[in-house]
Amino acid sequence: MVSDEHLPEPRSARTDSDLRELVARQEQQNAALRRQLEHAQRLTTLGSLAAGALHDFNNALTCVLSFNQLNDGSDASSTPLYRAQIDRSARDAVTLAQQLLSLGRDHEARDEPVAIDAHLRVLAGGIERLLAPRVTCEFSIEETGAANIDPVLWSQVVLNLVTNARDAMPDGGTLTLTARETVVEGAPHVEVTVADTGRGVQDRDVPHLFEPFFTTKQERGGTGLGLSMARRILESRGGSIVLDRDVESGAAFRIRLPRIDGEAPRRRAPIELPRGSERVLIVADDPRTSLAVAALAHDLGYVTLTGDGQSAITLAADVDLVCVLDGADTKLRRTLRLDLEREALTPESFASSLRRALDERAR
């Protein structure tokens, strides 16, 4: 007589287990592929923005250098003005760098409350650069409240629509971007519309607009990914995107996202930067960056060390926190088991992030 423990596993049980494993593996592969496609689409948008962004970045640095030269102490009454202009220009450059870095990197979505109106006002400058000089921009951005979405993905959705509008107006025209609050089925929503005065959408193309890889721009290298990704990003967050067929000419795409209660946090400079006394190691690929950030940390009361390569690995054992700045060697990151990384620094963001990381480490 054969005991139960020697009986073969039922075929159906093995099949169900294998099937579940196969489905899980396929879902992981699909998720990875979606991220890769989204990254490719962001790189396409980044390429469109690059020339104008470099121009603005150069302008910001020119202001910094010029006002720094003027701030030589010969006119004490003008010193506060010069310092304010240096600070403003540097922050403009940091904001621009953050936008470009976020678009260019492989990105894992993290939804958060985003003040749509404020976010669009920040994007407005980049949109004008993207469309100049052929296309005129008109903005009508009302107070909208906040929606829950990853800010990088939101930028990707808007900039893709803007790029499509530009391509639909090769001989010039007008792009209109509006934002307002609305109500959908009794619930408050944020509505954003991007409209152009271009050649419009042909009737035969309308049913296919949001299909992956469908494009009307074959001759200009269109990927056909932008609208399908925009729809997936928005619908997965309870939103929608549709083509508005009521416009007299051109095309208009209307986006809606559920508005959340309360306000999104808006960036305000803290009155006093958080301080500390711990030992902090600053690691960067540029010695000037290491020196500048270490000086800021020292001014906040921290004991600071700087290093790179093997020296940083040695010093890391004798500090409370290792702060690896963007651009540092990838192998070094892994070796130091990165504690804190900043993509683009302002004194406020660095001080608060440093203090928060140290507090979390102490728990």
The reported pLDDT for the residue numbered 333 is: 59
Is 267 part of a structural domain of the chain? no
Peptide bond into 133 cis (omega under 30): yes
Helix (H, G, I), strand (E, B) or coil at 224: coil
Distance of CA 69 to CAs 62, 79, 89, 92, Å?
Answer: 11, 11, 14, 19
Tell me, yes or no, whether 183 and 102 share the same domain: no
Domain finish residue from 75, 108, 141: 108
Question: β-strand 173-184 against 187-196: which pairing, if any?
Answer: antiparallel
Domain count, the chain: 3
Tell me, yes or no, whether 216 and 289 share the same domain: no
Instruction: Establish how many alpha carbons lie within 13 A of residue 89's alpha carbon, considering only the half-sphere containing its beta carbon.
Output: 19
Domain finish residue from 260, 290, 315: 260
pLDDT tens by residue, the chain, 363 residues: 445 555 455 544 557 777 777 777 777 776 666 666 666 666 666 665 665 666 677 777 777 877 777 777 777 777 788 788 888 778 777 766 666 665 555 556 788 899 999 999 988 877 887 786 789 999 999 999 999 998 878 988 998 899 888 888 988 999 999 999 999 999 999 999 999 998 888 888 888 888 876 776 655 545 566 788 888 889 999 999 999 876 677 899 999 999 998 655 554 444 578 899 999 988 877 777 788 788 888 889 999 988 877 788 888 888 888 887 765 565 565 565 545 554 456 677 788 888 888 888 777
Tell me, yes or no, whether 236 and 117 share the same domain: yes
Domain finish residue from 66, 83, 108: 108
